[in-house]
Amino acid sequence: MAEQNMAMNAATIDTATGYSAPASISDTRVRRIFSEIASQYETFNRHSSFGRDQSWLHKLIDLAPIDSTTRVLDVAGGTGEVTFTACARKRPASVMLTDCTPAMLEVAKKRIAQGDACDVPVETKVVDAQDMPFEDNSFDVVTMAYGIRNMPDRTAALNEICRVLRPGGTACILEFTTPPNPIVRLGYRGYLRWAIPAWGQHYTGKRDDFVYLAQSIKAFPPQDQFAQMLLDAGFSDVSYHNSPLGITAVHTAVK
């Protein structure tokens, strides 16, 4: 029955399992988790990825067609890792940094005050990506890193991203994925199962939040399936670029 629920591609899922479930289960959990770990989030990322998180962010921004005229929307932007990487590397015209968890955006606001936006105008806003308050065709580029995996209504989020992009605009989405090499995949699954919760306990004292993190990565669709979801949302020119071990991938898609 559970398999059947997943195959039905139900409108909302439990993001820990991929199975059909009311959206409130995942929406409530994700807001609680990121409220709890906001202040340790970046340190955890740096250490648990052995510093690889920076090169993954660079790849995302390198693939994004951003120049000094580009209006960027950063969806599920959290503490601003993507936003500030974009500002430093490409100096866009503006960035709208959004997230559903106010505590994550509070960290981002401190980073803006410290100068991490490199004089690029960055506005922060509490926004649910599954129902955004922006006009149609408002942005040239939408970025999102490690956000879609946490959303119970991924169809709604991708439709919203497509809606707020101008025609010809590009969505660039970084997410943990399935390493194509079976040996890497096995090692990575072990790392997610044992090491990630242990790192999480060490940095935040919240082991269970990181059990969820590992579960959600395992339950996220592989690269081709996610590419199809982007096509179904109305995008064209969908492609993806795996990181060297295939632990993450950047999907790009044009409206």
- Residues near ligand SAM (CB under 6 A) are 30, 34, 76-78, 81-82, 99-101, 104, 128-130, 145-147, 150-151
How long is the chain? Answer: 255
Q: How far is the CB of 172 from ligand SAM (least distance, A)?
A: 12
Q: How far is the CB of 97 from ligand SAM (least distance, A)?
A: 9
Looking at the Cβ atoms of 18 and 147, the one nearer to ligand SAM is 147
DSSP-derived pairing of the beta strands 139-145 and 165-176: parallel
Looking at the Cβ atoms of 171 and 237, the one nearer to ligand SAM is 171
Looking at the Cβ atoms of 76 and 117, the one nearer to ligand SAM is 76
DSSP the chain: -HHHHHHTT-SSB-TTT-SB--HHHHHHHHHHHHHHHGGGHHHHHHHHTTTHHHHHHHHHHHHS---TT-EEEEET-TTTHHHHHHHHHH--SEEEEEES-HHHHHHHHHHHHTTTTTT--EEEEE--TTS--SPTT-EEEEEEES-GGG-S-HHHHHHHHHHHEEEEEEEEEEEE---SSHHHHHHHHHIIIIIHHHHHHHHHS-HHHHHHHHHHHHHSPPHHHHHHHHHHTT-EEEEEEE-TTSSEEEEEEE-
Q: How far is the CB of 32 from ligand SAM (least distance, A)?
A: 10
Question: What tokens does 84 get?
Answer: 């500030």
Looking at the Cβ atoms of 99 and 140, the one nearer to ligand SAM is 99
Looking at the Cβ atoms of 28 and 228, the one nearer to ligand SAM is 28
Q: How far is the CB of 178 from ligand SAM (least distance, A)?
A: 18
Q: How far is the CB of 143 from ligand SAM (least distance, A)?
A: 8
Q: How far is the CB of 3 from ligand SAM (least distance, A)?
A: 26
Looking at the Cβ atoms of 107 and 238, the one nearer to ligand SAM is 107
Contact 104, 125 (CB under 8 A): no
Looking at the Cβ atoms of 63 and 104, the one nearer to ligand SAM is 104
Q: How far is the CB of 182 from ligand SAM (least distance, A)?
A: 26
